[in-house]
Amino acid sequence: MDVRIVLILAIVTLAGCGPAANSAARDETKESWYPSAVAQLAQIARDANNAFEQHKGDQAAALIEKGTPIENRVLRVNHPTLDAEIAASDLDDLYGRMLLSNRHFGWARLMFQKNLARWKHWTPETPDTIARRQHAQAQIDECDKNIPQ
């Protein structure tokens, strides 16, 4: 037999020996770390918002920075929960408002666009997701009024 044919047969045989493909990907939202990470992110978003409202911008910024890796982790799963999306949305909205208040209109617009896309494609639609989508669009419109043409 030709050596190439033997090699091909060996590769095909060994490839068949690997672990079976998991037909149903595991749902990470059901793992123990997920709900606690979502709750932690939601608390960070609330604390950062309170700091911003009390004109403690540096504290709010530090909290946003602390929450970003948690946000990335909870949104990285296949189908993040609504609670995870809400917590992430709240943090992104706050960051956008902070950028807007500092007259960084382009960067703020990007944060609000992120939320608009998040809520535009969320199913099932709820009154809250519709309100969040409309809020994001209103924030984008506010940025657009201030961006020089």
**What digits encode the pLDDT tens for the residues 38-91?**
999 999 999 999 999 999 999 999 999 999 999 999 999 999 999 999 999 999
Structural domain includes residue 130: yes
Q: Cα-Cα-Cα-Cα dihedral of 24, 28, 31, 32, to 10°?
A: 180
The answer to whether position 4 is within a domain reads no
Query: Is 13 part of any domain?
Result: no
Residue 22 within a domain = no
- Within a domain: 123: yes
Report yes or no: 77 and 112 within 8 Å, Cβ to Cβ: no
On whether residue 19 sits in a domain, the answer given is no
Tell the residue number behind the tokens 């770390």, with chain if given.
Answer: 33
User: Domain tally for the chain?
Assistant: 1
- How many CB atoms sit inside 10 A of residue 77's CB? 17
The pLDDT tens digits of the residues spanning 25-47 come to 789 999 999 999 999 999 999 99
Residue range of the domain that includes 69? 32-146
Q: Is 15 a domain residue?
A: no
What mean pLDDT is reported for the chain?
A: 90
Please check whether residue 11 lies inside any domain of the structure.
Answer: no
In 76-126, which residue ranges form alpha helices assigned H by DSSP? Answer: 82-101, 105-120
Contacting residues for 55 by C-beta, under 8 A, at least 6 apart? none
CB of 143 closer than 8 Å to CB of 105: yes
